Amino acid sequence: MEFLLNFVERTGAKAVGWWNATFAVLAFLTEVLSTLVRPATWNRATLDTIVKQIYFTAVQILHVYLVYVLAISWVIITITLSTARDVGLFDAATEMIIRVLLLELLPFLTALLIALRSGSAINTEVALMKVNNELDALSHCRVEPMQFEFLPRIAGGIASVIGLTVLGSVLTLFLAYFSIYGLSTSGFDAFSNTISTVFGIGVLMGLGVKCIFFGLAVTTLPMAAGLETPKKLFMVPVSVLRGMMRVFLALVLIEVLSLALEYI
């Protein structure tokens, strides 16, 4: 009997914990959005911090990112082409490469890279700010950390996911074209035709929305997790652990949802 009660109690505690976490994230998102639409937010200082964040999130890792995209794209294009040749489906290879790499894999891997690099950093920083009372100090001064700490990171994260995905995609397109047709323009029409069948206006918009959600997930979830940290230094690693776990779940969820919307 006591065991049963304990079990119910533990389940209840877990559910409440989940609910609180979800609620905190949603409340944080609401605050982000309300700050976003406030005209006063968009002054020179905010733009400057956003520029700084884009620099740290995207420009600093650009060369690493491009090499990484080159390697992954090359491997996947080569495998797809040789398999397609073996089973006699060479016509479908271009479409398969574009669909797999440009629509799914590149945005996902970009978001994952930014989550690993910047998301974890954001989570740690916010948790430390919370533990060190820096957030209290800012609120005493009536300066909202949202505007110069959080919002620029979110905007920078979204811009970085979109920007890196665009650059990686263009690189992959060139790589795919040269892998299939070599250095000749003969395949251009057929290639364009495949691209036009894959990229409808709806698909392009869906891709944009997916990148925005990826950018939101890799920045807001770590921030929300950091803000939840109790004021104890040893809780910082726990907070990062939780935040990154949530980021991963969110990325998979977004990817699955986008696939479901596209193919079902």
Q: Which residues bind other proteins (CB under 8 A)?
A: 40, 43-45, 48, 51-52, 54-55, 58-59, 62, 87-92, 125, 128-129, 132-134, 136-138, 140-144, 147-148, 159, 162-163, 166-167, 169-170, 189-190, 192-193, 195-197, 199-200, 204
Supply the minimum distance, in Å, between the C-beta of residue 1 and other proteins.
46
Count of CA atoms in the C-beta half-sphere (13 A) of 51 = 7
Supply the minimum distance, in Å, between the C-beta of residue 164 and other proteins.
8
Closest to other proteins by CB, 14 or 38: 38
Supply the minimum distance, in Å, between the C-beta of residue 4 and other proteins.
44
Cα–Cα dist 185/49, whole Å: 44
Supply the minimum distance, in Å, between the C-beta of residue 196 and other proteins.
4
DSSP 150: I
Judge whether 114 and 161 are in contact, CB under 8 Å: yes
Supply the minimum distance, in Å, between the C-beta of residue 144 and other proteins.
7
Closest to other proteins by CB, 157 or 163: 163
Closest to other proteins by CB, 14 or 52: 52
Judge whether 250 and 219 are in contact, CB under 8 Å: no
Closest to other proteins by CB, 215 or 246: 215
Supply the minimum distance, in Å, between the C-beta of residue 20 and other proteins.
26
Distances (CA, A) of 188 to 94, 126, 133, 140, 149: 12, 49, 60, 62, 46
Closest to other proteins by CB, 2 or 140: 140
Closest to other proteins by CB, 148 or 248: 148
